[in-house]
Structures are given as C-alpha cells and as structure tokens.
Amino acid sequence: MNDLRDLYEEVILDHNRNPRNYPCKPEKTNRSAHGFNPVCGDEFFVHLHVEDGIIEDIGFDGAGCAISTASASLMTEALKGKPATDAERLFREVHHLLTEERQVGGPGEFLGKLTVLTGVKEYPMRVKCATLAWHTMKAALHDDNQTVCTE
Amino acid sequence: MSHAPNLAPERADNMFDVERIRAEFPILDQDVNGRPLVYLDNGATTQKPRRVIDAIRRYYESDNANVHRGLHALSERATNAYEGARDTVKAFLNAADRREIVFVRGATEGLNLIAQSWARPRLGPGDEIVITTMEHHSNIVPWQLVCRQTGARLRVAPIHDSGELDMEAFAALVNERTRVVAVAHVSNALGTINPVREIVETAHAAGAIAVLDGAQSAAHGAVDVRALGCDFYVLSSHKCYGPTGMGVLYGRTGVLEEAEPYQGGGDMIHTVSFEESTWNDLPYKFEAGTPNIAGAIGLGAAVEFMTELGMDAIAAHEGDVLEYATAAFGELDGIRIIGTAPKKAGILSFVVEGIHPHDVGTIVDRQGVAIRAGHHCAMPLMRRYKVPATSRASLALYNTRADIEALVESLRKVKEIFDR
C-alpha cells in the first residue's frame, strides 16, 4: 500500500480536494487553451493573463481525476507571477520528472513543491493525466487553438 | 436471459461447478501486484478457456490451409473446420439456415456492414433510423455515417433514470418514416436487458427492420434469433470466450439477399469479368478475401464450451453473483450504482462520491482487481447521467462471490487512501 501513498501524496489529495485558482478565468485573460483526453474524459481549460512576458494571472476550469486536477492546481500555484520563460523551463522539468527513467542529479530545486508528482512515474498509465494541464498551459502560452491531448 | 432458466436455481447452482470451470482458464491462475488476479472486466473482453486456445493451436499445427480453394487434404480439413464453426454458431443462435451466419471481425464490423450494405443503398431524405440513449458508439456512429451519406435522420429514444428504455417514448418515435431500429440487447455500460421482443414487434409494425447489438448478451444467456424475430443480430467472439478479430453477423435470408456486398474481393464472387461481376451465394457474398479461419475455429470451440455448460445455467450463476454484488455495494457508503433496471445482466457501473473512476481503477488494480474505468464507448450515456466516466465491474461465468468480496475490499482501500 506504500506505493499507492506515494502516488496519492497528501499534497496531491489536498490539491484535488481544494484546487487552487479553480474554477477560475482571470478577468484579464488574454490566452486560453483546451486540453481533453477523450479516452479518460479529463478535460481542462487553462487561462492566462500574460503581460510583458510575465504570467500575471492564471486559472483553470474543467474536471478530471485526482492526478490531473492536482497537477493543474499545483501548476497554477507555481506559475502565478512568473516569467513565461520560467513556465517553459518548469514544463520541461516536470515532463522530465514524469517520463525519464533516470533523473540526472535528482529533481532540481527549481521544481519546488512539484516534486510531489514524482510518484506518478511508477504508473505509466497515469502520466498522461499529470501532463495534460501542462501541455494545455504551453498551448495557451503559444496561442495554439488546437485542443491538446496527451493520450 | 429474458427467459426463465429451465433448471430450478438450486439445481443449476449445484451443477455449476465454478472451481472446475475456473481451472479451464489458464490466465486466471496468476498474481497481479502480489495479489491473486480478480478479473472483472469481462464487458471489455473475456478470458479464453484452454480448449479455445488448443483449438487455435491445433489448427495452426496440423490443419492450416486456405479455405474453399485447394483440392488438397489440408484445405479440406481447414474448410471443414471453418464451416463446422458456422454450423455451431447457427445452432447456438437457433438461426433457420447456415447461410444466415456471416463471419465478420466483430460486432462493430457487423453493424457497419448492415449500415453500409443494407441501409445505405435504400435510405434517403425523409427516412429515419431509431436508436437509444444507451447505445455503444459502434451502434451510433455507423448510423450517423449512413445519415450523412443518404440524408436520413437519426432519432434517439430516451431512457429512464433506472437505465430502462422509455418504451412509451420509443414507440412514439417509431413511425412510417422509420426504416431501421437498432438497439443493444444488453447495455454495456448499464447492464440493462432491453425488452427486445417488444422492440422488434414495434419496428416491424412500422415496416422497419430490427437490428440487435448482441455484443453484451450473446455470452450471458440463451439467444434465439427466431424467437426474437430480429432481422439482424451481431456478436463479438472475444466477448464470448473466443479470440479477438472475430464476430458474427446473423441476418435473415431475406434482408441478406437484399443487401449489397460489403467488400469486394476473392471468395465473394461467382464470376468476374472486366465488364461485370456476379456475387457468390450467402453467406460468402459478405466474406471477401481469406477469412479469419483460426478465429472462426476458436469461436466454434468457445460456443461449444458455453453450450455444454448451458446458457440458462450461466445466466443463473451470473445473476446470483450480480445480486450478491448489488447487495454488497448497497452496504458501502458513498457509492452510487448507475443502472438499476429490474432486468439486468452482470454489469455493475458505479461512481464513488468525490473520487474519479480512474483513481478508483488505479487503486483497485494495485490489489489485483481488474475493472474498467471510463466512458465505456458510450459518451452520450455518460452525459445523460452527468458523469464524466464510471467504474465498471462486469461478470463472466468464472466469477464468484469471492471475486466480489475482493472488489469490495479494494473499494474500502480506495476510500481509506482518499479519506486520510
């Protein structure tokens, strides 16, 4: 049962129960994107207010499993007020954390609280849940209107 | 399954030696994540008894050849085995004639064949096709394609909250414009057993053909296509203890003769010239190319296996386990069963309050319990119940009350993990 508790970390359960910046579309939203995994039904909209390369505000709505919801919530918390370049870097590091067999030098400090997602790696079927909001955020940053899917 | 079992329930139970039956399924004897496998995803696919696996292996080891072609001994044996499977299936469905049994890839291909070969050439603007809210995507999308191709209109009969078809609304939708009524015999996501005889009568009274999707019914109770009176009935081999990539389309001789060929190629023709070709007789008109010979032989062995056990005895056994599971779920807090029709096959769809079905699926899998989580290829039905997905335990003849106890125990773990 220990490994299940690694997946369903207390921080993850907390963000699933009380997602931050949810359901929320910031007033000055100027970038939005849609993420949808049709097989499992996870569906999120990520909204950004980007000004001079800074993510001034961020919110999301939609619905999904605990892993996808917590990952989205943690993401909004981590990105609010950060430069878009940090968002790109975090996207890469989270992706690396979830998909790479071997971590080079362990998860970087840059990830902070997001390291709670480490347990997802042991559940390959659930990685797509954890990455959905991140890909959706990236699409929003790049003003990509295509619906994102991580299945 | 819509008929009362021939055997008294106690007697059927005594004769149904589930431990002996389980021993015929090699795959069931294994641990998953350190726990004995509890396989409750039979609505997705059933496991295969040793005799099915052996029949396929035997065919490849000793009889493999193309059918209906060679004059040599192997081809004769392969042809006899392939056509023997057709006779077995004919008896299983109580079809009037072996020519009414068409081998296809699965229920999905069967439905597409009916849509493209029978419906598409005869439907046009003003015509209507009636389905229900509880259909699987494979009994929705082929008809949507036909509607797009012909200008016909798709009508959808609603269901009650219990998961029963609203028969009044259904009857009101069927009229002189209706050309096709296509309904699931058993709902894959709810377990509802539809009153198909009445549905067929309603369709025929309006001059429409009746198509029954038997993907979830064929392995779980006696099916008599003549008693049901349907024009078409489809099933998937892999949901009936047979191999994947194999299925059956039953069609009344009359409608099969009216239908155009589905695909062109070898075996489906009588004569070919560059000016004109003529079609082979039923059922070969619909079996272009080298068929799934091993698949048909495997399906034949699976049908013999089910027939020996007795479809009524299988229905009684699964009914007992379903009843036990429904009662056990009633004692769990925060679990809602989706699909509570009085007449149900062994399917238990449910949602756990506040916990997404995928999280439920992952946690129970860690305890060796295999269930399905998702929309079950029935997205419109999920919208009807305002849920993104459900968890689904679906039964087969080898499931036991102990399997249900393992499921219930694993669901307690789900709550334990989430409530901490």
Residue B71: the pLDDT is 87
Q: Please, what is the average pLDDT of chain B?
A: 95
The total number of residues written for chain A in this structure? 151
Alpha-helical segments (H) within B16-154:
18-22, 50-58, 73-93, 107-113, 120-122, 141-150
**CA distance between the termini of chain A:** 27
Distance CA A35, CA A148 (A): 4
pLDDT in tens, B72-106: 999 999 999 999 999 999 999 999 999 999 999 99
Distance CA A21, CA A38 (A): 24
Whether residue B13 has pLDDT greater than 80:
no
Whether residue B3 has pLDDT greater than 50:
no
Whether residue A110 has pLDDT greater than 90:
no
Residue B12: the pLDDT is 46
Substitution target in B41, B353, B356, B415 with the highest count of A β-carbons within 10 Å is B356
Mean pLDDT of B42-62: 98
Distance CA B409, CA A61 (A): 33
Q: Is B388 on the interface with A (CB under 8 A)?
A: yes
Q: Tell me if A40 and B373 make a contact (CB, 8 A cut-off).
A: yes
ipTM of predicted complex: 0.91
Predicted model pTM = 0.93
Whether residue B2 has pLDDT greater than 60:
no
Q: Is A24 on the interface with B (CB under 8 A)?
A: no
Substitution target in B33, B141, B358 with the highest count of A β-carbons within 10 Å is B358
Reported in sequence order, the residue ranges of B237-296 that DSSP labels E, i.e. its strands, are 247-251, 269-272, 277-279
Whether residue B420 has pLDDT greater than 90:
no
Residue A61 backbone dihedrals phi, psi, to 5 degrees: -140, 175
pLDDT in tens, A46-76: 999 999 999 999 999 999 999 999 999 999 9
Calculate what percentage of chain B has a pLDDT beyond 70.
97
Q: Tell me if A13 and B420 make a contact (CB, 8 A cut-off).
A: yes
Beta strands at B178-184 and B209-213: parallel, antiparallel or unpaired: parallel
Is B377 assigned a catalytic role? Answer: yes
